[in-house]
Structure formats: structure tokens, C-alpha cells
Amino acid sequence: MKRILYFLWIVLLMPLVVLAKEVNPPAGSYKLIIEGFDWGPAVNKIILDLDQPVKEINAADFEVYVNRSSKDGEIPTASTAGKRAVVYSYVSDENGNRVEEGNHATLVLAVSPIAPIGSPIQYLRMGNRGGNVWIDYAVTVMETKSGKIWNQEAGRILPIVDEFDLTGKFTHGNVTLPYASFTPKGLTAKAPLIIWLHGGGEGGNDPTIPLLGNKAFNYASPEIQSLFGKGAYVLVPQTPTFWMQAADGMTRGQTNDIYNEALFALFQDFVAKNPNVDPTRIYVGGCSNGGYMSLKLILEHPDYFAAGFISALAYNNEFISDAMVQKIKNVPMWFVHSKDDMTTKPDETVVPLFERLNKAGAKNVHFSYYDNVTDITGFYGGDDFRYPGHWSWIYSHANVARKDLDGSPVMLEGRPVTIMEWMAGQRKRK
């Protein structure tokens, strides 16, 4: 059925677009606003460059069509092309800020976790592994009354992501790691450092992918930054492949990976080059592949980190010795996982490890354990909508994890806290 609708769009609607191009050359330009959501990135606004200033704009006068393609792999037919729903419009400046009168119009588009047509990123199989990559995202906007067309992209705006330095590269031995970093504005005193390690699908050489792939940029959002006093540095390294890569195949802890030494050297280099980083408040966390690496680094350097925050842990408990448990039992950690995670199965990873840490006498280790990963916004069904069980990092990025394994709230200084509030209160023991 989806394939039939796609061809109907080509047959019935594209001639209108072509005709409009012929009647009203030249076409106008537009900018895309791309924001990250719990399920990933989406184009949720389009800024149109108008011929003259206006005071009003009507959403019903515009139609938006999209074509998604990639030279890196095949995109499923059902999500290669289609029409985007315009839900609202307003007069704006060139960056999408609302104004009373201006030469630009911003169209607000509907987005949804079950509408891949909205995403400028696609998970593709490339060689012997898969990953998220930017794709060609071609937009055609038509004003139905005049027939005017906008189909020339003039730029992109990535809120919060644009505040990161995306140029970082660090080489250690034969390993080069790209990274993104965020520095709080106006720092006059030392500030904490939040380190986030991405999942298996966000490797490569473009740090915008781990920032947007699963909303890691949110650690630089005003809401989370405000919990850390004057703010916190955020460091998001990227592996060229995947963190769990071993010399031969993939490791779940049974053998050493090829990246942890270079990655830790990157942390040390970043701290050395940013003297306002508070060395007593360095936090490391990650999801899945990055959850493995976070625990690996805590195991290797337990005295370096003030706390760990780990989602969908991929380090198998069977490869953690009792001596290793004793080594990390005093490191504050907060685990997040879902019972229906079939990728990093909790009974093989986090559940037995958490039990062993408690038996070893850990005093500040917490575990938010969900039945399912659901829609925390309420826009798409709330608890009745279910994401894949592996996506428990949603609760960390959105800072909504707040309960321990027994269902009681995690407490800090006599008050209930979220995972980020708890982390902001942790300092490395002396």
C-alpha cells in the first residue's frame, strides 16, 4: 500500500511542482531547522526566503514535499519520498525567530517517531556494519495560491548542536578520535565535565551524528546546564567504528577493546587544555556500546571519575571478576535499563552486576529499571507507545530517571532527585 501511495505522489503531484517551476522561475531558497527528539533527529521547521516583507502568513497556503536518498545505501521505499504536514506558520527573521514583519516565513512541520520521512539521518548497512549517516534531504515547498516554489537549500540550523565545537580531533598511537565539545559561557570558576559515549550506530568521523543520533546534545541544554551551577563542559567523543571493537571481532568484556587507551588519553588531554575543568567532578556515561566503554574506563581508572551514568549496559557480567567489583564499588554509578532489552540483555549485564555491587557494600549505586521504554512526552500515546527496549538512554538524556530498583526515589541530601541532579552532587572522593 505504501509503495502505491508513493507512485501516486510521483504521478499526480510532481507535475504540479514541475509546472510551477516553469511558470515561476527562479525558485526560492530555504533553510532547514533540524532538532533532536527522543527517537532521533527530524526537520521540524523550514524557513522560507520571501520576495518582500509580510506581516501575516497562512500555513494552509503551503505544501511541503520531501525526497530522501543516499549514495551510501538503499533507503526503504516507503520512506524515500512524501508530503510533510504543515501544522503552523509565522513571520520570522532568517533564523526562524518570530517577528511582527519580516522577509521570511517559518513553517512548523509535524514530526513523529513513526514518520521516518521527517529525518535527515538514516541507519544504513555499510560493509560489515551499520550506522547512522546524513542523507540527501531535498525539499520542495509550494505556495498553492501563487504557485511559487522554494527548492534551493541555503543552510541548516541545528539548535544546541551549533553551540558545540565540532572540530576536535585527538590522535594517540594509530587511533584518531573526532570529538565535539561544549564550553559554558562566561566561566569564571572551575566547572564539571560531562562525558558521553555514543552507541554502536553513531561511529564515524562526524560528531554531529553522536550528538543528534540519540539526543546527547541535551546535556548542553539550559535545563540540564542549570543543575551544575554555572554550567558544565560536555565532551562527546566519536569512534571511527564502534567502542567494543577488539583486535579480532567484538568484545563484551572477555577481551580488551582497541580504543580505551586512546579515549582515556583524550580525556586527559581535554582536561589539560581546559584548565577550568574541575578534576573532582568528571562524569562518564554512555549507552550500549558506550555503556560498555564507560564501565571499562571506570574499571581501568576508578579514581579518575566522580560518577558514572550508564544506559543499556553492554558489558557482560560474566567477564567482571569479584576483584573488579571490589575495585569499583565506591564509584557512584547510576544504571538505566529496560527489562525488554533484547540487544543488551539485562539478566546478562546490569542485573547481576548491580546485585554484586550491593553485596560488596556499594553505598552510592542506583538502578532505574523500566518494564518498557515508552513515550515520555505524552504526544504519541504516553505509556501505551513503546520504543524498542534497547532505547533506555531516552530516560537519561531527558533527565527523567528518578527511581531506584525498588521503586523508591533516589535521594540526595534528603530530597528526591533526577539522574542529572544526583550527578551534579557527586564529587571524587579524596
Distances (CA, A) of 82 to 1, 231, 332, 338: 14, 41, 48, 34
Which residues lie across from 153 on neighbouring strands?
30
Q: What's the average model confidence in pLDDT over 39-56? A: 96
Domain boundaries, the chain: 2-157, 161-424
Q: What's the average model confidence in pLDDT over 368-389? A: 97
The mean pLDDT value of the chain amounts to 94
For the beta carbon of residue 292, count every other beta carbon within 10 angstroms.
Answer: 31
Residue 161: pLDDT over 50? yes
* Bond before 352 cis per omega within 30 degrees: no
The answer to whether 289 and 244 are in contact (CB under 8 A) is: yes
pLDDT tens digits for range 74-127: 999 999 999 999 999 999 999 999 999 999 999 999 999 999 999 999 999 877
Residue 5: pLDDT over 80? no
CATH number given to 2-157: 2.60.40.2180
Task: Report the pLDDT value the prediction gives residue 356, as an integer from 0 to 100.
Answer: 98
Topology annotation, domain 161-424? Rossmann fold (3.40.50)
pLDDT tens digits for range 294-334: 999 999 999 999 999 999 999 999 999 999 999 999 999 99
Query: What is the C-alpha separation between 143 and 145, in angstroms, rounded?
Result: 6
Query: What is the C-alpha separation between 18 and 14, in angstroms, rounded?
Result: 6
Task: Report the pLDDT value the prediction gives residue 358, as an integer from 0 to 100.
Answer: 98
Whose grid coordinates read 584548565?
Answer: 275
> CA-based Rg of the chain, rounded to a whole angstrom?
23
- Cell numbers that stand for 293 in this block: 566503554
Q: What's the average model confidence in pLDDT over 196-221? A: 96
The answer to whether 325 and 360 are in contact (CB under 8 A) is: yes
Residue 244: pLDDT over 70? yes
Whose grid coordinates read 522577509?
Answer: 103
pLDDT tens digits for range 16-26: 444 444 455 57
Q: Around 216, how many Cα atoms within 13 Å sit in the side-chain half-sphere?
A: 33
Helix (H) or strand (E) holding 195: strand 191-197
CA-based nearest residue to 180, from 237, 142, 248: 237
Sheet holding 136-143, edge to edge: 81-84, 62-69, 136-143, 149-157, 28-37, 40-54, 102-109, 86-92
Q: Which of 12-21, 228-237, 267-276, 377-386 has the lowest mean pLDDT?
A: 12-21
Residue 208: pLDDT over 80? yes
Distances (CA, A) of 295 to 3, 261, 309, 333, 357: 45, 13, 9, 10, 13
pLDDT tens digits for range 345-369: 999 999 999 999 999 999 999 999 9
